[in-house]
Homo-oligomer: A and B are copies of this chain.
Amino acid sequence: MGGLLATIHGPADVQALDAARLPELCAEIRRVLVAFGHAHGGHIGSNLGMVEATVALHRVFDSPRDRIVFDVSHQCYTHKMLTGRAQAYLDPALHDAVTGFTNPRESVHDQFVLGHTGTSISLACGLAKMRDMRGGDERVVAVIGDGALSSAIAFEGLNNAAEQGGNMIIVVNDNEMSIAEDSGGMYATLARLRESDGAAGDNLFRAFGLDYRYVADGNDVAALVAAFEEVRDCDHPVVVHIHTHKGLGLPAVSPMTAAATGGEARLDGDAAVVAEDMDIREGRCEANHWQDPDSAAGRPLGARKHYGQLAMAALERRFADEPGLVVVSPATPGSNGITRAFRARAGAHYVDTGIAEEHAVAFASALAKAGGRPVLATSATFFQRTFDQLQQELSLNANPATLLDFGGGLSGADDTHSGAFDIVMFANIPGLTCLAPTGERMFLDMLAWATGPANERPVVIRVPGDPILAAERSGLLPAIGVGDDDGRSDDDPMPWSRYRTVHAGADVAILALGNTYPLGLQVVDALRRGMTAIADGDAAGASADAAVDATLVTPLCFSTLDEATLERLADSHRLVVTLEDGQLDGGWGQKVAAWYQNHRPDVRVRTVGGDTEFTDRVPLTDLNERYGLTVEQVVALVRDSLRG
């Protein structure tokens, strides 16, 4: 593999290449991408569509002096190959040496760390403005598309770009993949532009005051080079609308399209088989999904899809009787167990808004206002984009929409997709009920309650994560359902506000929120068995310590404190340990600590959870170790605190 690519050490090498050899380079990059996808996984489909455009950009522009901003930046693999990082894609041993997104810590050719959608035009405006303030002449390029154009901020960027003026090239990668399984709105307009070779009226970009060019074959490197050369030194912002084929080189692409690219689609047999399999597993139309490596094939579903599918199945049974039960997904439904088959059956009970979280939350609030029971599902990290609507349109208006928060909590995710901040964001919004189920039965009970007639408020349910699913699969997790509550009556308007005491002990209480519940169980078990903490420098790790019969409590709601239980615990416990798999600052444990300080200062509280930091692809086991979230560390903390 690799002959030409291995000779490319930077953009200068792309520029020095004979123009006739550019298709050869593109073909090789495409083969490398497919092989990388097999071995490592990644946003392969979108990167395959952008091979020629990226080669053309580095042929025409002079990065890093000229600045190229990739939106979402998940389609930057070819850019990385051309800017000194080809080995990371060629050599399987180095596949993890590059992140899946642009990153200035990796290369001066990467302008920003980005993982959320639609911000590239605004960022390009800032870079261009600074150039103009300095009197510089470098060019600024934003590369957007693959679903990101439907994102709110992209339009603010388009509007301000024209207002600002000056050199700026906005490459719109139009791969017809922007909303899963449908089209309309501006996508109909993009379709008309494609059909008319860019000539159709009511041009969205011109309507924003921008100049416009169309490139019909966005996988023709010569045409792209010509188009970029034409606009390179433009004295005003210009949109270059390129029509590309996502996944070009994979069998899902039609033979005609493959032929049009000069044969780059000739894959070895293995690749074709796996590519089809990837397509089946993930869905070709989902703009922002992460495709797994081959080695992931056949593995049982992760928590997101497992609990997501259960939730959708439970809702689907009610569709016939409840017209207002509507599932809303701001794109990437497949990641959350909202399968293509479910979507087809759900019909009008399912709405994909595109990557438009802000619209989705306001929309859900209004559905609820009009008497509906919307269920909005997306990732913890993407809910951040709609914080203001969560607070204003939803919680201030107290409309009973239900949010399913997928992927919340600590994980080995990259730093742009962390789930560690969700408890802090949700739990501090007045009037938003925040629930953390610790198992399948409780999760479905909560979903039924939140979407049922008894609930009149907005609710977020933090979908259980892999630690809980693993414990459920191993049969180790005591099921806690609505019936297990000692304090609840059927009249209780919020049946989840009381904490569940899983085991009543004395002296020490472990309060384990959500995904830390299995850890809490193990800690209580270890303390009961008299296991000694294996602390740093403690050579007597194997020796037994005094048995402690600790209480285990799981709080099912993290938006309010169960003061009655906290008060009761204070009568027979001198130490409370809170566990949460998210950022401590602003989170749940600090509320418990402050409550005891204000109300029962005789109780000592230790809070265990994440630091206030961004972490990038740090394995979860390492994060848990870093934050003291292992059985040994919590046991040591308990024993140390009891001594202290």
A255 CB, nearest partner CB in chain B, Å: 31
User: A186 to B127, alpha carbons, bound, how many Å?
Assistant: 22
Is A156 close to B, CB under 8 A?
yes
For A113, the chain B residues whose CB sits under 8 A away are 392, 396-397
Q: Does A566 reach chain B (CB closer than 8 Å)?
A: no
Q: Output the least CB separation between A609 and chain B (Å).
A: 10
Q: Indicate whether A54 reaches chain B with its CB closer than 8 angstroms.
A: no
Instruction: Name the residue in A182, A590, A644 with the highest tally of chain B Cβ atoms < 10 Å from its Cβ.
Output: A590
**Which residues in window 203-226 of A have CB below 8 A to B?**
203-204, 206-209
* CB neighbours of A613 from chain B (8 A): 430-431
Does B384 contact A159, Cβ atoms closer than 8 Å?
Answer: no
Q: Are A427 and B359 in contact (CB under 8 A)?
A: no
CA A607 to CA B594, docked complex, whole Å:
7
Q: Are B127 and A366 in contact (CB under 8 A)?
A: yes
Q: Which residue from chain B places its CB closest to the CB of A353 in the assembled complex?
A: B160
A123 touches B590 (CB 8 A): no
Which residues on the B side are within 8 Å of A123 (C-beta)?
Answer: 362-363, 365-366, 369, 393
Q: How far is the CA of A364 from the CA of B125 in the complex (A)?
A: 9
Q: Is the pair A159, B354 in contact by a Cβ cutoff of 8 Å?
A: yes
Could you tell me the distance in whole angstroms from the C-beta of A562 to the nearest C-beta in chain B?
A: 15
Asked if residues A598 and B594 are in contact (CB atoms below 8 Å), the reply is no
Hey, which chain B residues are within 8 Å of A622, CB to CB?
A: none
The residues in A between 56 and 107 inclusive whose CB is less than 8 angstroms from any CB of B are 67, 69, 104
Q: Which of A146-154, A276-284, A500-508 contacts B (4 or more CB under 8 A)?
A: A146-154
Interface residues of A in 402-443 (CB under 8 A from B): 415-416, 421, 424-425, 427-428, 430-431
Q: A370 at interface (Cβ–Cβ under 8 A)?
A: yes
Q: A189 CA to B158 CA in the complex, in Å? A: 13
Give A160 to B359 CA distance when docked, in angstroms.
Answer: 8
How far is the CB of A287 from the nearest CB of chain B, in Å?
A: 14
A163 at the interface (CB under 8 A from B): yes
Q: Give A604 to B202 CA distance when docked, in angstroms.
A: 67
Q: Establish whether residues B393 and A119, one from each chain, have CB atoms under 8 Å apart when the complex forms.
A: yes
* Chain B nearest Cβ from A140, distance in angstroms: 9
Contacts of A644 in B (CB 8 A): 601
CB within 8 Å of B: which A584-623 residues: 584-587, 589-591, 593-594, 596-598, 601, 604-607, 612-614
| Residue with the highest number of chain B CB atoms closer than 10 Å, among A135, A159, A209 | A159
Q: Are B208 and A185 in contact (CB under 8 A)?
A: yes
Alpha-carbon distance A11/B222, docked complex (angstroms) = 64
A439 to chain B, nearest CB (A): 27
Contact yes or no, A122 B366, CB < 8 A: yes
CB neighbours of A151 from chain B (8 A):
156
A104, B393: Cα distance in complex, Å: 12
A361 CB to closest chain B CB (Å) equals 8
Q: Mark A107-128, 1 if CB is under 8 A from B, else 0.
A: 0000111111001001111110
Residues of B within 8 A of A364 (CB): 126
Expressed in whole angstroms, the Cα–Cα distance for A405 and B207 within the complex equals 34
Contacts of A385 in B (CB 8 A): 387-388
Given known pairs A153-B359, A162-B185, A358-B152, the reply for A590 and B583 (CB within 8 Å) is: no
Whether B182 contacts A207 by the Cβ 8 Å rule is no
Q: Is A130 an interface residue (CB 8 A)?
A: yes
Interface centre among A151, A370, A415, A604 (most CB of B within 10 A): A370
Q: Verify if A133 is at the interface (C-beta below 8 Å from B).
A: yes
Q: Which residues of B contact A598 (CB under 8 A)?
A: 593, 605-607
Indicate which residue in B119, B384, B431 contacts A614 across the interface (CB closer than 8 Å): B431
Q: Tell me, yes or no, whether A201 is within 8 Å of chain B by CB.
A: yes
Q: A530 at the A/B interface (Cβ < 8 Å)? A: no
- Do A356 and B134 have beta carbons less than 8 Å apart? no
Q: Can you pick out 10 interface pairs between chain A and chain B where the beta carbons lie within 8 Å of each other?
A: A119-B362, A126-B364, A129-B366, A132-B348, A155-B155, A155-B156, A159-B185, A163-B182, A396-B415, A598-B606
Give residues in A with beta carbon < 8 Å to B.
67, 69, 104, 111-116, 119, 122-127, 129-135, 150-153, 155-165, 179, 182-189, 201-204, 206-209, 323-324, 326, 348-349, 351, 353-354, 356, 358-359, 362-372, 374, 384-385, 387-389, 391-393, 395-397, 415-416, 421, 424-425, 427-428, 430-431, 583-587, 589-591, 593-594, 596-598, 601, 604-607, 612-614, 644
Listed from nearest, the 3 A-B pairs whose CB atoms lie closest are: A126-B366, A152-B152, A130-B370
Known: A133-B348, A586-B591. 20 other contacts (CB 8 A): A112-B369, A119-B392, A126-B366, A129-B366, A133-B326, A133-B372, A153-B389, A157-B362, A158-B185, A160-B354, A161-B185, A204-B208, A387-B425, A396-B415, A427-B586, A430-B613, A586-B586, A586-B590, A594-B607, A598-B607
